[in-house]
């Protein structure tokens, strides 16, 4: 089916008290792996790319991979810009055909974050493209209400103690903070940095209102392990399909 936006996907998740998986895909094999898993589980799915991934090959290249996968799929698929680092990149993704946009203005001041998030939301909303934004370093429930009201975003990435990359030890999440945010913010909530968070903790976050969970590092580790396994068993292999297939299976 054609690519869909994340708007209804996440509203359905919010209503049904579940979360949709959002997976950072960095090559064709990762796209194929995520798609196979989504089909097997009959689950809607979000595929996404970060600015560094986009820089490697271009928005159009990654969109084409996901669009081809979506057209073969029987489940809803959305293409999302993860951690859009500027208004300009967000608009490039929007014009290229991404069906969901994140703008991450969290490295600036609260007012600067509001300004850039509102600018992206104002540009995307008329075409029905949903916008996710980020409120860091720890989301204050009262500020979150103001942030959502002033920006017009459609989903909010909450900061409750997760981090990107590989954790040193088990992450400690502020679940009570999440519940407080859920009580006062009515749009879908997003959990970033889910790789490495125990499954039972992720489940509890979903029970407390998370509607989208992001995974990136776990997929990178899995793919790399798969490729490494092939070379450890057969160092002379030269066919990329053979080691990439193993990476895909691990993902």
Enzyme catalytic residues = 82
In contact, 79 and 48? CB cutoff 8 Å: yes
Angle among Cα 145, 146, 150 to the nearest 5 degrees reads 120
Q: What is the rounded distance in angstroms from the CA atom of residue 228 to the CA atom of residue 27?
A: 17
**Strand, helix or coil at 122?**
helix
Structure tokens at 105: 């203005």
Structure tokens at 40: 């097997």
Tokens 């271009």 found at: 58
**Bridge partner list, 81:** 49, 101
In contact, 34 and 44? CB cutoff 8 Å: no
Q: What is the rounded distance in angstroms from the CA atom of residue 230 to the CA atom of residue 246?
A: 7
């Amino acid at each position: 089916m054609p690519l869909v936006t994340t708007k209804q996907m996440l509203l359905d998740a919010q209503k049904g008290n579940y979360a949709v998986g959002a997976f950072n895909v960095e090559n064709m094999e990762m796209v194929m792996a995520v798609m196979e898993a989504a089909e097997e589980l009959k689950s809607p799915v979000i595929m996404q790319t970060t600015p560094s991934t986009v820089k490697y090959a271009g928005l159009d290249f990654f969109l084409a991979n996901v669009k081809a996968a979506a057209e073969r799929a029987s489940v809803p698929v959305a293409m999302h810009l993860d951690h859009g680092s500027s208004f300009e990149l967000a608009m490039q993704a929007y014009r290229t055909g991404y069906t969901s946009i994140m703008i991450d203005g969290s490295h600036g001041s609260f007012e600067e974050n509001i300004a850039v998030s509102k600018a992206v939301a104002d540009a995307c909303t008329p075409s029905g493209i949903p916008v996710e934004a980020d409120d860091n370093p720890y989301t204050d429930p009262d500020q979150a209400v103001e942030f959502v009201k002033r920006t017009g975003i459609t989903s909010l990435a909450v900061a409750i103690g997760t981090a990107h990359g590989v954790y040193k030890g088990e992450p400690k999440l502020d679940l009570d903070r999440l519940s407080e945010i859920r009580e006062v913010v009515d749009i879908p909530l997003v959990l970033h940095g889910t790789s490495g968070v125990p499954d039972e903790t992720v489940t509890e976050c979903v029970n407390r209102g998370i509607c989208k969970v992001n995974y990136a590092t776990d997929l990178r580790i899995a793919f790399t392990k798969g490729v490494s396994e092939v070379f450890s068993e057969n160092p002379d292999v030269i066919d990329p399909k053979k080691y990439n297939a193993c990476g895909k299976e691990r993902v």
